[in-house]
Amino acid sequence: MTNFKQATNYKFKIPNKKISNLSFGIGILFGIVILTFGIPYHALGQSEIILSQRVTKSDLQTGYTITTQEKDAYITIKPNTLNHSAFVELIKPEFYPATLLDKDLVSNVYHYAILPATDNQLSNSIALNMLYSSEEARYKEIYIFDQNLSSWQNLEGSINTKTRTLTAQTSQASGFIAVFADHLDKSEYLKEKINSESMLILDAKTGEILLERGSEIQRPIASLTKLMTAAVFLDHNPGWNAKISMKAQDDTIPSKIYVKTGDVFTTHDLFYATLIKSANNAAKALARSTGLTHQEFVDKMNQKAKDLGMENTHYVEVTGLSSENVSTAHDLMILSKNLFADMTFLQATTPKYFTIATATGKRISMQNSNKLINLPYTILGSKTGFTYEAGRCLTMKAKNKSGKEVVAITLGADQIGAQWDDMRILLDATLKE
């Protein structure tokens, strides 16, 4: 028996039509109620029932095909797939789970059911066949909504270009089905190469999401925190030549500039050390230079996040060492796109090497924490992050020779060096000419 979730757990696409005959406590539901014999019945509203009937065992054993009225999709139950009668249903739903961010929906969405079934699985597979427009030249596949994963999953299959038909096999007894076209060619197979749990790649000029996975999952963000630390500092900058004395409480491992208590730096040098070296002690001193208390500064970070529309972001300190500093790839995309458009951040995040000096002339050379600064693209912004809780995190903005610009975020890589491999793969996929 299929377990459907209430609408509060789905993101629904709601067409601009009058909603009628559909209510379920809180919110709108396209779901299932259990009737006689345990057969699910859809709360239809304005949904279009294409087929809803019991099919005999003898009919199923000779093979059975369900076809939409528009002839744009048909489901084939092969002979001897089922050894019992079944309730068969096909619906063109009014409501369905939110479509994928990095793809375009290029077909109608349908929902089918072949029941009863155990754990929503048939003993054998059925064939899904869906047509696409003659004008659609992008890479496309049939997707099915997996309730257990609460996400659309691509189904490997075949394509007949003459009939413009995609065919795929599934043993899932019920589900939403549709055809999606990639913004980035064969993106689902590209994702298989990526270790990072969350990622988002945006065309910086058009705003189109080229690739996405887990971008709404809130997670610790490590030193990507320092982007907001630097942004709030700029809002309260006491002057680039203001001098700040390092204090014992600034000293924080592992990433830091090696200084002594009492060493004096300009805010300019602390700003660069915070972003290029990702130095924790520099970030603490930089925040202190504004004259705000630590809590006041953190409050400003959270307010700025709110002002930017970063709805799933929260900070508790300025370095990123706390696992309570959390955000999402989507929110960090908003921040990165905003900050990397500022020349101040380009200059302070992209040099491979940079030297700062104390007031007494002691020089400290720093190397950029990002090992991808020398990629064959113009790097327009960069920030790294790592803690055991956050995994390996990276945000970059880059441009190719043709002028295409992308902002890419990867979060939660759990293999050593995976953040570099992941980002290189993603930038090559979107920028390589």
* pTM for the predicted model, two decimal places: 0.83
Distance, in Å, from the CA atom of 74 to the CA atom of 89, rounded to the nearest integer, reads 12
Under 8 Å between Cβ of 184 and 407: no
* Residue 336 known to be catalytic: no
pLDDT of 3 over the 50 cut: no
Distance, in Å, from the CA atom of 10 to the CA atom of 270, rounded to the nearest integer, reads 45
Read off the pLDDT of residues 97-129 as tens digits, 9 standing for 90 and up.
Answer: 999 999 999 999 999 999 999 999 998 999 999
pLDDT of 15 over the 50 cut: no
Read off the pLDDT of residues 125-183 as tens digits, 9 standing for 90 and up.
Answer: 999 999 999 889 999 999 999 988 889 999 999 999 999 999 999 999 999 999 999 99
The confidence band for 45, taking pLDDT boundaries of 50, 70 and 90, is: low
The pLDDT of residue 27 is 29
**Average pLDDT of 349-374?**
96
Query: Is the pLDDT higher at 336 or at 61?
Result: 336
The phi, psi pair for 219, rounded to 5°, reads -155, 160
* CATH number of 7-182, picked from 3.30.70.890, 2.10.10.90, 2.60.220.30, 3.40.50.2300: 2.60.220.30
Residue holding tokens 């054998």?
A: 124
For the chain, the C-alpha Rg in angstroms (whole number) is 27
Distance, in Å, from the CA atom of 357 to the CA atom of 196, rounded to the nearest integer, reads 37
Average pLDDT, the chain: 89
The confidence band for 30, taking pLDDT boundaries of 50, 70 and 90, is: very low
Every domain of the chain and the residues it spans: 7-182, 219-431
Beta bridge partners of 202: 209, 407
At residue 137's C-alpha, the angle toward residues 132 and 140, to 5°, is 60
pLDDT of 5 over the 90 cut: no
Read off the pLDDT of residues 226-236 as tens digits, 9 standing for 90 and up.
Answer: 999 999 999 99
Helices (H) and strands (E) in the chain, counts: 9, 25
Reading phi first (left if > 0) and then psi (alpha if -120 to 50, else beta), residue 278 is in left
Nearest of 212, 186, 149, 277 to residue 411 by alpha carbon: 212
Distance, in Å, from the CA atom of 49 to the CA atom of 393, rounded to the nearest integer, reads 47
Q: Which residue is catalytic, options 187, 215, 255, 278?
A: 278
Q: Which residue is catalytic, options 92, 140, 226, 304?
A: 226
**Average pLDDT of 293-306?**
98
Nearest of 141, 158, 130, 357 to residue 264 by alpha carbon: 357
State the pairing for strand pair 198-203/209-213.
Answer: antiparallel
Give residues with Cβ within 8 angstroms of 91, minimum separation 6.
Answer: 42, 44, 47, 48, 49, 50, 52, 110, 111, 112
CA 104 remoteness from chain centre: 15
What's at 346, amino acid-wise?
Answer: L
The pLDDT of residue 46 is 78
Fold of 219-431: Beta-lactamase (3.40.710)
Q: Which residue is catalytic, options 174, 198, 223, 255?
A: 223
* Residue 223 known to be catalytic: yes
Nearest of 175, 166, 297 to residue 225 by alpha carbon: 297
Distance, in Å, from the CA atom of 212 to the CA atom of 410, rounded to the nearest integer, reads 10
